[in-house]
Chains A and B, each alone.
Chain A
Amino acid sequence: MAETLPSVEQVWVWLGDVPDPEIPVVSVTELGIVRDVRWDDDTLVVAVTPTYSGCPATAVIDLAIEARLREQGITRLRIERRLSPPWTTDWITKGAREKLRAYGIAPPVDGTASDGRTAARAARMTGRTNLVIACPRCGSSHTERISQFGSTPCKASYRCTDCLEPFDYFKCH
């Protein structure tokens, strides 16, 4: 083959520039949803895992990845969906957690992605939620959950009882 194919490492660097469509301060690699980059003969294969299985952003993410790679001259490209192992919020990089906070979204509490039913029972027994979610604006730990669901499938709605601002929490998953 006459043309030289870009290295897999180079492709990872390019993907590091592709923002998440809903939360543009973090990239798809920081979110931990790119699972594989490889050459299948002269076709570039990028495997992407969904955050939530019904997340409508998935199609937009595929399109953004394709656009970014075509911009770099990749002509033969295949985007695959990868389910296993399922994505958890523990895949989000630490740097991205700080970017989320600066953007006004409380990042998921590290390492707590787990069985929701256990959390639910604990929450009901104690009459409150089992995690302390700090306000991304003022840092106060006096916050309360408004709703388990928010503006996108991956977020819950909270409010701060000190600065009184509502905010999104990137829920553990």
Chain B
Amino acid sequence: MPSLPDMTTPDVVALAERAAASQPHDPHLEDVDLRPAFFDWLCRMGDNTLILGHRISEWCGHGPVLEEDIALANTALDLIGHTQMWLGLAAEVEGEGRTADDLAFLRDAMRFRNLQLLELPNRDMAVTLMREFLFDAWHFEMLTALCGSQSPRVAEIAAKALKEVSYHLERSSDLIVRLGDGSEESHRRMQDALDRLWPYLGEMFVEDAVDKAVAEAGIAPRPADLRGAWEQTVNEVLEEATLASPDTRMDVHQGGKQGRHTEHLGYILAEMQFLQRAYPGASW
């Protein structure tokens, strides 16, 4: 493996100067007509990572083995990091003086825009990992597409997040194969998890007026355009894992993107938002 040239301090300065010079100006942030859809779409991105990150963090201290516990906590941390970036940009686009924290801690369930898939309870490790894998495969394609967004602010967040999500997908697909093609019980649990989550998956590819507006502005891909690559990844991994895709519909449960949620989201928010609700403005 060839080594990189040694980077002395002046080289770092030069690199940093180039980085500073490439700071993007984003005209989409000043487009008043686009604002409501752009804001809503950014909340979808940020709420997806916030709610899944929160769900995964529930395993912290409860993982079946130390390595899995640490891996899940690290994944949750990455997702919360993405949330800060997406909701931070959402707050900036909205221009009402709110912050990422305000959006995370002071909105009610009906204002959340995450996929219903992500708020479902963890149940067991099979459901936790299967859900993460099915989302990771979508997240990977979405962020890959967003790296080419005409909004430089969106593209830079996507480029940052994609590096971490590549790692998530690598790990979750590996575990799907190991557990699907594992013991009789692990196989049964993974198949049950897939069957249980299947009716929630269609929501990832359904387009509404918000998706259409941001797609037309060149900010994001059309949801349906991600489906082919997502199916290819999912089918490859499921086949290797000796698991069968159900032949039932994927688009049974939907509405999270428009703020219609399952009863589970309220419980997440009750726990997540308690402190900021009980002690408004608390800091440490």
Contact = CB atoms under 8 A, between A and B. Distances in A.
Interface of A: 9, 12-13, 16, 29, 32, 34-38, 47, 49-50, 52-56, 82-86, 88, 90-91, 93-95, 109-113, 115-117, 119-120, 123-124, 146-151, 153, 157, 173
A117 B166 contact: yes
B8 interface: yes
B84 interface: yes
B140 interface: yes
B114 to A, nearest CB: 17
B9 A12 contact: yes
A12 B24 CA distance: 24
Contacts, number: 146
The 10 closest A-B pairs by CB, nearest first: A54-B81, A116-B166, A53-B81, A120-B170, A147-B67, A84-B156, A54-B77, A94-B6, A36-B20, A149-B71
Contacts of A37: 13, 16
A84 B159 contact: yes
B74 A153 contact: yes
Interface string B57-88: 00000000001101100110111111011000
Interface stretch (B171-179, B209-217, B252-260): B171-179
Q: Is the interface of A mostly helix, strand, loop or mixed?
A: loop
A157 B23 CA distance: 36
A72 B33 CA distance: 48
Contacts of B7: 32, 91, 93-94
B192 interface: no
Contacts of B159: 83-86
Contact of B2 (A82, A91, A110): A110
A70 B71 CA distance: 37
Nearest to A82: B19
A52 B81 contact: yes
B160 interface: yes
A9 B14 CA distance: 12
Contacts of B9: 12-13, 16, 29
Contacts of A111: 1-4
Contacts of A115: 166
B283 interface: no
B195 interface: no
Given A83-B156, A120-B169, A147-B67, A173 B20 contact: no
A151 B171 CA distance: 17
Nearest to A152: B74
Contacts of B156: 83-84, 86
Most chain-A Cβ atoms within 10 A of its Cβ — which of B1, B74, B160? B74
